[in-house]
Amino acid sequence: MSLDVAFRASEVLLALAILQQSLEHMCGPRRDWWIFVPRIGLCLLLLSGIGTLLALAGLVGISMVILWRFQGPYNGGSDRMGLLILWSLSLAQGTPSNLWQERVFGYLAVQLVLSYFISGKVVKLMNPDWRSGQALRDVFAFSAYPVSENLRRFAHSPRLLWCASWSMILFELVFPFALLNQKLLIAALGVAALFHFANACLFGLNRFFWTWLAAYPSLLWLQARVF
């Protein structure tokens, strides 16, 4: 994937992700509409492909207003990843140097790999609760995430959750090796997208799904560029 194609694919996916979030905010209080109505307009501008840099700059400005309004990310990790993609794309598009464009976009790709690898190795593999499946049992038993009460019954399936824990840990650990081959990387990203899809269905984390997808083109580009 060429750099230009990867930029455009990321822009379109990010614009759709931010558009989806902003439309959801229109259900909120009207006093926040002054933030989200222009944000919707800028997403449409970014989708159109006309005035891309202006749209990205506007979205960066609004991202700062949103951080201030909610005193942090509204939706935790997904908002943080959204900010990282937005700022990376804006800086990369804003710099005339091809070298710096590659460096900034490459940074986003590396962060995407780390998002899986660190949460697999450092967080889960090092933690006895994750290795035994207890952490996932806790997620289902009492965390705020299961979208319905009947999903809590999974907390009473320790073998299933042990298998799920280790599947996650192993996938996240081997994810960086997928960079060695393009087909392997596409397959790994497909599995990762399924993982986010499951999280969206079971835990209501729909914003993670759309936001992480928007970072995938950077990794496809980096793989083609380096290997």
**For residues 189 and 216, is the Cβ–Cβ distance under 8 A?**
yes
- Sign, CA torsion 75/48/102/64: negative
Query: Binding string to another protein for residues 184 to 203, with x set by CB under 8 A, is what?
Result: -------------x--xxx-
Stretch of residues binding another protein (CB under 8 A), selected from 2-10, 80-88, 184-192, 212-220: 80-88
Q: How far is the CB of 220 from another protein (least distance, A)?
A: 20
Q: How far is the CB of 183 from another protein (least distance, A)?
A: 26
Q: Which is nearer to another protein, 35 or 155 (CB)?
A: 155
Q: How far is the CB of 50 from another protein (least distance, A)?
A: 26
Within residues 1-30, the interface with another protein by CB under 8 A covers 20, 23-25, 27-29
Using the rule CB under 8 A, is 59 a contact of another protein? no
Using the rule CB under 8 A, is 159 a contact of another protein? no
Using the rule CB under 8 A, is 74 a contact of another protein? yes
Using the rule CB under 8 A, is 68 a contact of another protein? yes
Q: Which is nearer to another protein, 108 or 185 (CB)?
A: 108
Rounded CA gap, 10 and 13, in Å? Answer: 5
- Name the burial class of residue 149, with classes exposed (0-12), middle (13-18) and buried (19+) by CB atoms within 10 angstroms of its CB: exposed
Which residues lie near another protein (CB under 8 A)? 20, 23-25, 27-29, 31, 64, 67-68, 70-77, 79-81, 83-84, 87, 111, 114-115, 118-119, 122-124, 127, 129, 135, 137-139, 141-144, 146-150, 155, 197, 200-202, 204-207, 209
